[in-house]
Structures are given as structure tokens and as C-alpha cells.
A and B are shown apart, each in its own frame.
Chain A
Amino acid sequence: MRAVITVIGSDQIGIIAEISNILAKNRVNIMDISQTIMQDIFTMIMMVDITELNTDYSKLSELLELKGREMGLSVTIQREDIFSAMHRI
């Protein structure tokens, strides 16, 4: 199963490091990362594989949210299905 992680906020050192550290600890595999500055706002999108996830989905979501709050960023994780449902026929 795949999920999309989006990180939005001000650019700073260590965003990828901190986020991927959480992912590695919970056995989440990163498949793709892209980042861009849109209208002065740092936006990072990660496509991840959560098949081997060793914790609850909601727990992972909380951990990411918490880290986001710590760094002043908005971090969300959503199942990929929502995007494919909306954008693919």
C-alpha cells in the first residue's frame, strides 16, 4: 500500500533528515521525493510504501504531525488512493 506525505512550510535545514528518520524507524520505504518552492512556500512531496509498516497508520500519522509542529511545518500523510481516485479514470 502506498501513501503520499506532504510537507508544507518554511525551508530549513534537516527537513528530509527528520522526516525520513521517522519513516525508517517505522519501516516505511521512500519511493520518490520531490521538492519545490511554490509562492515562497517550501513544498515537499514524498511517495512512500507502507506495506511493511510496523506500527499503526494513525500512530505514524501522529508522529509525523508532531514532528511537523516541532519544526513549524504542516506534515500530512494520506493514502495514495485518494489522489488516484480523483485524478485517474
Chain B
Amino acid sequence: MITKYEIIETMKMIQEENLDVRTITMGISLRDCCHSDGNLFTNNIYDKICRYAENLVKTGRAIEKEFGIPIINKRISVTPISIVAEACSNYDYTKIALAMERAADNVGVNFIGGYSALVHKGYTNGDKRLIESIPEALSMTSKVCSSVNVATTKSGINMDAVRHMGKVIKAAALRTADNGGMACAKLVVFANVPEDNPFMAGAFHGIGEPECVINVGVSGPGAVHSALKKMGNADFGLMSETIKKTAFKITRMGQLVAQEASKRLNVPFGIVDLSLAPTPAIGDSVAHILEEMGLEKCGTHGTTAALALLNDAVKKGGVMASSYVGGLSGAFIPVSEDAGMIDAVKCGALSLDKLEAMTCVCSVGLDMIVVPGETSEETIAAIIADEMAIGVVNSKTTAVRIIPAPHKKVGDVVEFGGLLGSGPVMPVNQYESRVFVNRGGRIPAPLHSLKN
């Protein structure tokens, strides 16, 4: 039988350390919705999303109640719209985004992802039209999320798409200037994008996925932080062990919720994404874990090593706890969503350059970074190019979610609210990258032998 200490430990993790299931995400294929008539197509996707996800929120709430675990978000991801909308060539794509928003409202989910395109090697006509419609689509909707994959290890980096995304991000920011460039918080540029990621804004239902699937993303930086705090002055081996054990417990909880949701909704279980996803709440910060390891402030020398240890231990502990692990799986470092990261930027300890280094050893990449509104398209494209290169060369997923907040300057703080938090505006390098990003073409795929 379970001991009372174990019960109290779990209760503490949930009540005091903000342990939660971050999201149950239902992946829905829209491949059978294609139609050359745009209006019929949008009707098809609206109907299908509403039909498949009808009980998602209700089931999520019931599980939450029975197991006593908060499930923060219920979300939907769909087949990349660029693929399924290709047939309706003269249609206004923003109407598709509006249909997705209506469907999300109808079933009561927090976000819907998949206004996406995969262009790592080149564009189709549909890809181009979708990407061009992103700024308008994201500014007209509040729940629709968009992602564009511009690079993979196998095909290299599509620099035309990287350059294009610089322009798209600027345009999206300007369209939502009143909200600090909010549309950019729903837009991610990827290298090596995973097809089963349950986390927003990058979730979409990949083309190798089944008809419908349940993916779950766990969280729990607070629980890891508190476990490390109790250890005091332990060495690296012991620290890693403690993180592994905590990650195991967190992931088991996610696995249980995923299985239960899959059973009740009669939808196959896909993966558990074992990520440490912070929130702006105090005690739910990845930066504070790194500081607990002995760094005065997140971002100082030693931060990359600390994050590498954390990320690896989370994976090692989590892998054993779940039958199928996927998605992004690792520690997230979104600046605006993490109280410790926000503090570290404000006091000057954490710079964009250090964040870039940190992304070499953890999941995702430059996430929720606010830069001055005057930052040029070319500079944003160059920031994306750097991050894509890290992903492509190291065979890992990297991403950029950057917000050039209109009219904001270094030192200002942009409020996004809710889980998106608030982002201090960070300085970018003042020297130009224009000639480089405007060269056009692709950066070839990297060599995978002779590794040094």
C-alpha cells in the first residue's frame, strides 16, 4: 500500500510546487477535408474538429477532478494547413484561420495549432500563400497558432524561407502593435520540427500521424527545484540522480493522464512530452533550478553546463516513466514565461547570446524573446539563421519565437498576460547582417562524419 509520506509528497508537489499536466493535445488529421471549393473546405475542417474534439475539454476536466491533478490546457493540433488547403488555390487563407478559431471556441480549447507549413527544402504555391497570410491570420484570431519549419539536418537551411520569416514576423508584430506584437507569440520558426509536439505555439499534427491521437505535455520545474533545494550541497552525480527521480514521478503522472484520456475519448495515445515548462508563477521557473545549482544568476558563466545537466537528467528520468516519449522533451527556456529568466534579463545577467548558447543543450530554442521594435527584418532573419544552424548541425530541434515589439526600446517590459507572461526588451547586435541573409538559396545539409 502507498505510504502516507508518498501521499504527502505528491500533495505537496501539486499544491505547493505547481506540479501540473501542462496540456492534453488532441491531434486531428484534416487530410480528408480537402476540397477545391474553399468554403466547403473550411466547413469540412470546422465540422471535423468540432466532431472529434467534442468531449476533449469535458474529459480533461473529469480526469482533473478524479485524480486531483490540474490540467492547465486542452488543445488541438491539426494537419499543416498549407498541405490541406493546397487544392483551393484562389481562396483567402485567413478564412481558414477564422474557421479554426470558431472550432476552437466551440469545443472550448485554449489553443489550436497547425496554421503551418513545412518548407525546409522549398515552397509549394500553397506554402507561399499560407506563409504570406500568417500576419493577418494571427492578428485576426486569438487561439490559432502557426509554425513554419525552415530547416532540417537532412536538407539544410532554406535561407529564402528564413529571410521571408523575418519579414513575416515584423509584419505580424506591426499588425498587433497595440498588444506589444502579440501575434508573434503564436508563431514559431523551426529546424527539425517534431510532428507530435503537444506544446504551443509549435504544435501540428504531422503527416506520419494517425487519424486522431492524444499527446500529453507535462511540466514541473517547481518540483525539481524543491527537490534540489532539499539536497543542499550535493555533488553533480547526486544532483543528476535527484532530477531523474523527480522527472520520473512527473512523467508517470503524465503517462497516467494520457492513458486515461486516450481510453475515455477512444482515441489512441501518442506520446508524453517530458518537458520542464515554466510559467510566470513564482516557484515554477527553470532559471531558478539553475540558480539552485549554485549560479548567482541565470545567464552567468556555468549556465550552459547546468542546463545541459538538467536537460539530460530530465530525459533520463522521464524516458523510463513513459512507454512512448516524443515531442520536444527537455527543458524549455522561454524568457517571458519564466520569472527567473525575466529577472536575469532585467539585471543584465542573461543576454541573447547566452540564450543562444543555452539552446545548444536544451529543447526548443530562442523562445519568447522580446527585441526592440526597430529591429530590422534582416536582423530577425539572421537571428533565425543562427538558431537553425544550431539545430541542423547538432541534429536537434531548435526554434525561434521572437517578438519585435513595436515602439518598444531596450529596458521596456511588454505584458502578454496569462501563461505568456511579460517580456523585458532585450538588445540585439547593432551591426548589419543584411547582405548575408539576402544572398538567397539554401545552406546545404551538414556532413555527418569527421565529427570534431
Contact = CB atoms under 8 A, between A and B. Distances in A.
Contacts of B253: 82, 85-86
Interface of B is mostly: helix
Q: Taking each of A34, A38, A86, A88, which has the highest tally of chain B beta carbons within 10 Å of its own beta carbon?
A: A86
Contacts of A79: 66-68
Interface of B: 1-2, 4, 6-11, 62, 65-69, 249, 252-253, 255-256
A84 B68 contact: no
Interface string A66-82: 00000000001111111
Contact of A83 (B10, B65, B255): B10
Interface of A: 4, 6, 8, 32, 34, 36, 38, 43, 45, 47, 57-58, 61, 76-88
A78 B62 contact: no
A34 B158 CA distance: 63
A58 to B, nearest CB: 6
Given A76-B68, A86-B249, A86-B252, 9 more contacts: A4-B7, A45-B4, A45-B7, A47-B1, A81-B256, A82-B10, A85-B255, A86-B10, A87-B6
A47 B65 CA distance: 17
Contact of B8 (A43, A47, A76): A43
B2 A87 contact: yes
Nearest to B6: A87
B268 to A, nearest CB: 20
B4 A78 contact: no
A58 B65 contact: yes
Nearest to B2: A83
Contacts of A61: 65-66
B67 A78 contact: yes
B223 to A, nearest CB: 11
Given A81-B256, A86-B10, A86-B252, A36 B67 contact: no
A78 B7 CA distance: 10
Contacts of A84: 2
Nearest to B5: A87
A81 B258 CA distance: 13
